[in-house]
């Protein structure tokens, strides 16, 4: 490359300007897409570079004075205008690797004698400097370099730049930065990092979209499964509602069927409750009519009735020693005995005229077909409850029993007016007797013999009764059905 020589800078009597060696190595990759960026160094390599590209390095070191061969002398700088020379360091480096050499020369006593020789050498140096500078500026740079961002490091630990050399380096860096600002930079190279970021963002977006599709597919499956479960739940709810309606219809039909074959809807539990209520009503009525401390008790009338029943002869307590509590227990037994005789102790019903004939026919049928005999008995009970003539007979029997008990109570207890309660007792006893007869297994009264020891399994004690004694008075009989392990109500006794 032919260049025009610039005029030589005149020398003065002061020492020559120091020449600083300033090496700037900038590695450039001819591969356009392999060029490094400041954001993220690339690890690619091309065939042109022997090693991967790296950020620009700036090496500064002191070059010995070759001309004078006086490198052993300590350098001294006597001028603030350094001379800068740039030369190619090695041909093996990439085209963008250069070395800027500034050689420091120091004045001595022989400088005047060698002035002519120095002029020739300086002229050659200036020519080389201009050639290299023009070649450096004509080379296309891949990116701009801000010298302020470059970390400088000394060439050796022992060498230190003087203040003048540092000012020269600063001036050189400013000039270099100004010249680099005008160099063209391909837009594609400056946007490599942005393209990489866009590629990464695009990859992340694609991955997110793929995950979104998978989540949406899973959500669709779950939604479909939820709809299927909802449909199954609705079907089960409909089936359950239909079952409930069917059960209601079956229950209604069963009750209607029971009413057609049974006089009442009672079972063993309801019959047991009604029987206990009947006993409690009898006890409450006698307790109320006797008054405070048995003041209303007519002891003579009670003993007379006791004697006429035939029970007083074998009673363990003598007639003169009978206490009011014993006489009240005896009156309870008298009331229950009337109810049992008039309502409970009948083959079919107290209002049926053919009880004796019914008993014989029922026993004959039961030995041959028990189910048919039971059904026949239940149907007769239903007919008696619905027959108007049977209803009239029931009213007559209730009235007759009420009058008999009212007369007896009024005779034994003075100022007694319990006809209403006695009638209520009679009505309950009649309804309970019909319910006992209308069951599949008939519930009938069970009597306890007098004089037997007390048995807590079938007996219940009364007031002032001894559990170690024998039965002296049967107050309430027991009630039991025809089954061995069926319904049973204990007898109430007084033991002495």
Of the two residues 135 and 225, the one the predictor is more confident about is: 225
User: 242 forms bridges with which residues in the sheet?
Assistant: none
| CA–CA dist 101, 87 (Å, integer) | 7
Of the two residues 15 and 337, the one the predictor is more confident about is: 337
What pLDDT, on the 0 to 100 scale, is given for residue 78? 44
Q: Is the pLDDT of residue 92 over 90?
A: no
- Name which of 305, 355, 346, 344 is nearest 328 in CA terms: 305
pLDDT in tens, 434-448: 999 988 888 999 999
Of the two residues 314 and 422, the one the predictor is more confident about is: 422
What percent of the chain is modeled with pLDDT above 70? 63
What pLDDT, on the 0 to 100 scale, is given for residue 123? 62
Mean of the pLDDT values across residues 7-18? Answer: 46
What pLDDT, on the 0 to 100 scale, is given for residue 372? 92
What pLDDT, on the 0 to 100 scale, is given for residue 168? 77
pLDDT in tens, 397-428: 999 999 999 999 999 998 888 889 999 999 99
Q: Is the pLDDT of residue 265 over 70?
A: yes
What pLDDT, on the 0 to 100 scale, is given for residue 130? 66
Mean of the pLDDT values across residues 327-350? Answer: 92
User: Given pLDDT bands bounded at 50, 70 and 90, which one contains residue 266?
Assistant: confident
| CA–CA dist 333, 328 (Å, integer) | 9
What pLDDT, on the 0 to 100 scale, is given for residue 235? 94
| CA–CA dist 319, 35 (Å, integer) | 138
What pLDDT, on the 0 to 100 scale, is given for residue 414? 86
| CA–CA dist 287, 328 (Å, integer) | 8
Element (H, E) at 411: helix 388-412
Q: Is the pLDDT of residue 280 over 60?
A: yes
Q: Is the pLDDT of residue 450 over 80?
A: yes
| CA angle (128 as vertex; 70, 83 as ends), nearest 5 | 55
Least-confidence region, from 168-177, 262-271, 336-345: 168-177
Q: Is the pLDDT of residue 140 over 70?
A: no
Of the two residues 488 and 43, the one the predictor is more confident about is: 488
Q: Is the pLDDT of residue 69 over 80?
A: no
What pLDDT, on the 0 to 100 scale, is given for residue 30? 43
| CA–CA dist 431, 399 (Å, integer) | 14
**Distance set, CA 17 to CA 10, 109, 114, 255, 471 (Å):** 11, 16, 15, 132, 152
Q: What is the mean pLDDT of the chain?
A: 75
Mean of the pLDDT values across residues 134-161? Answer: 56
Place of tokens 């009239």: 392
What pLDDT, on the 0 to 100 scale, is given for residue 253? 85
User: 476 forms bridges with which residues in the sheet?
Assistant: 492
What are the φ and ψ backbone dihedral angles of 21, each rounded to 5 degrees? Answer: -90, 110
Q: Is the pLDDT of residue 40 over 50?
A: no
Mean of the pLDDT values across residues 201-215? Answer: 93
Place of tokens 């009670």: 302
Q: In this structure, are residues 432 and 340 in contact, taking their beta carbons and an 8 Å threshold?
A: no
What pLDDT, on the 0 to 100 scale, is given for residue 26? 40
The domains of the chain are located at 19-188, 191-261, 262-495
Q: Is the pLDDT of residue 115 over 50?
A: yes
Mean of the pLDDT values across residues 235-261? Answer: 86
Q: Is the pLDDT of residue 496 over 90?
A: no
Q: Is the pLDDT of residue 114 over 50?
A: yes
**Encoded tokens for 453:** 């020891």
**Encoded tokens for 299:** 């002891």
Q: Is the pLDDT of residue 133 over 80?
A: no
Q: In this structure, are residues 42 and 34 in contact, taking their beta carbons and an 8 Å threshold?
A: yes
Place of tokens 């199954």: 232
Q: Is the pLDDT of residue 233 over 90?
A: yes
What's the whole-model pTM score?
Answer: 0.51
User: 23 forms bridges with which residues in the sheet?
Assistant: 59, 99
Element (H, E) at 87: strand 83-87
**Encoded tokens for 250:** 């079956």
User: Given pLDDT bands bounded at 50, 70 and 90, which one contains residue 83?
Assistant: very low
What percent of the chain is modeled with pLDDT above 90? 33
What pLDDT, on the 0 to 100 scale, is given for residue 3? 46
């Amino acid at each position: 490359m032919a260049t025009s020589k610039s005029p030589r800078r005149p020398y003065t009597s002061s020492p020559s300007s120091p020449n600083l060696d300033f090496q700037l190595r900038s590695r450039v990759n001819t591969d356009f897409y392999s060029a490094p960026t400041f954001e993220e160094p690339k690890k690619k390599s091309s065939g042109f570079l022997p090693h991967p590209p790296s950020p620009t390095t700036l090496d500064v070191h002191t070059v010995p004075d070759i001309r004078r061969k006086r490198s052993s002398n300590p350098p001294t700088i006597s001028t603030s205008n350094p001379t800068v020379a740039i030369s190619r360091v090695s041909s093996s480096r990439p085209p963008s690797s250069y070395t800027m050499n500034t050689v420091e020369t120091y004045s001595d006593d022989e400088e005047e004698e060698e002035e002519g020789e120095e002029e020739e050498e300086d002229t050659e140096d200036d020519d080389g400097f201009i050639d290299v500078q023009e070649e450096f500026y004509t080379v296309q740079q891949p990116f701009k370099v801000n010298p302020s961002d470059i970390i400088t490091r000394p060439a050796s630990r022992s060498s230190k730049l003087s203040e003048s050399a540092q000012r020269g380096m600063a001036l050189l860096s400013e000039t270099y930065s100004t010249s680099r600002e005008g160099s063209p930079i391909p837009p594609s190279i400056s946007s490599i990092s942005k393209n990489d970021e866009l590629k990464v963002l695009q990859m992340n977006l694609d991955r997110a979209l793929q995950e979104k599709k998978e989540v949406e597919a899973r959500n669709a499956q779950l939604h479909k499964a939820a709809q299927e479960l909802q449909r199954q739940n609705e079907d089960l709810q409909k089936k359950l509602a239909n079952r409930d309606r069917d059960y209601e219809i079956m229950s209604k039909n069963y009750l209607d069927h029971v009413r057609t074959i049974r006089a009442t809807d009672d079972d063993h539990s309801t019959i047991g409750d009604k029987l206990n209520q009947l006993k409690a009503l009898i006890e409450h009525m006698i307790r109320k009519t006797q008054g405070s401390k048995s003041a209303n008790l007519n002891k003579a009338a009670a003993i007379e009735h006791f004697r006429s029943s035939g029970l007083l002869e074998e009673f363990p307590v003598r007639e003169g020693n009978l206490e009011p509590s014993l006489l009240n227990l005896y009156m309870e037994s008298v009331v229950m005995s009337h109810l049992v005789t008039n309502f409970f102790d009948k083959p079919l019903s107290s209002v049926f005229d053919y009880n004796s004939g019914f008993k014989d026919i029922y026993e004959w049928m039961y030995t041959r077909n028990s189910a048919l005999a039971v059904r026949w008995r239940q149907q007769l009970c239903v007919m008696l409850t619905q027959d108007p003539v049977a209803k009239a007979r029931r009213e007559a029997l209730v009235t007759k029993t009420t009058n008999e008990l009212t007369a007896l109570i009024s005779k034994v207890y003075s100022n007694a007016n319990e006809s209403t309660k006695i009638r209520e007792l009679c009505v309950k006893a009649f309804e309970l007797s019909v319910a006992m007869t209308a069951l599949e297994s008939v519930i009938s009264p069970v009597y306890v013999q007098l004089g037997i020891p007390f048995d807590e399994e079938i007996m219940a004690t009364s007031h002032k009764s001894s559990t170690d004694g024998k039965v002296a008075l049967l107050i309430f009989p027991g009630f039991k059905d025809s089954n061995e392990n069926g319904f049973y109500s204990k007898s109430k006794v007084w033991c002495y």
